[in-house]
Structure formats: structure tokens, C-alpha cells
Amino acid sequence: MIEEYQFGSMTIDGKAYRDDIEVRWTGEVLDWLRADSHIIDIEDIAEAIEQNPETLIIGTGESGMAQVTEEAQKEIKLRGIELIVDKTEAAVKTFNIRKEDSPEEEGRQEKVIGLFHLTC
């Protein structure tokens, strides 16, 4: 699904994105706006966790500068959502693998959401 990531840019289904994005298992791509680009807090993940994903993958930037607060991590775990936090390049690979390997039982796919910081 995600074709390419490089610093400041991500290509999905042939379209280039230059701002941080949320990518849902449905294929929907949304802008991911935060109060502080390098701090990921509860309000920054609220829209994603309201979708009740099974897995939330957070890409923290090319060099991993963005940090997920303990409060946000606790909220995600409290809701029974698997959390994967990694540098964006690795997070993209994990997201793509999860999308490709999602269970096919009864036509269901894993409900995975990726939140990707595209720069530092």
C-alpha cells in the first residue's frame, strides 16, 4: 500500500504526501496534525483510537525524533490496542507487512492504523 518513504515524503497508491499522515486499513489517508510535531500525546492519537484498531503503528520520523508520551502509550494499551513504535522507515515496512499478512478469515483484514511523522 505504501510504496515509498523518504525524508519529508511518502507515496501511497501513486500519490505523494508531504505532511504527516494517518493511514487506515481501509486505504483512507488523512492529515495527522499535532500541537507539537515531536511529542505524540493522547489528543494526537484520539481520532485513530476512536476507530478501534487492533494495531496502531507510530512512525517517529527518519531519525526517531518524535516521542510517544507515557500517557498516550497507557491509553492505547488500556484499550487493548497493540502498539508498535519505530522510526518511520521501519514503521512503514511493518505497516505494509501487517496489511499484506492480515487474516483472510471470513473476508476480514487486520484493523491496523499507521501514524507517520515524515521528517526528523
pLDDT at residue number 107 = 59
CB 103 within 8 A of CB 70: no
Q: What is the pTM of this model?
A: 0.94
DSSP string of the chain, one letter each residue: -EEEEETTEEEETTEEE-S-EEEETTS-EEE---SSTTEE-HHHHHHHHTT--SEEEEE--SS---EE-HHHHHHHHHTT-EEEEE-HHHHHHHHHHHHHT---GGG----EEEEE----
pLDDT at residue number 55 = 98
pLDDT per residue rounded down to tens, the chain (120 residues): 899 999 999 999 999 999 999 999 999 999 999 989 899 999 999 999 999 999 999 999 999 999 999 999 999 999 999 999 999 999 999 999 998 865 555 556 899 999 999 999
pLDDT at residue number 103 = 56
Please state, in angstroms and rounded to a whole number, the distance separating the CA atoms of residues 69 and 99: 26
Range of the domain at 106: 2-116
Domain with 36 in it: what CATH number? Answer: 3.40.1230.10
pLDDT at residue number 109 = 80
pLDDT at residue number 90 = 98
20: left (phi over 0), alpha (psi -120 to 50) or beta: beta
pLDDT at residue number 35 = 86
Domain count, the chain: 1
pLDDT at residue number 37 = 85
Please state, in angstroms and rounded to a whole number, the distance separating the CA atoms of residues 60 and 80: 21
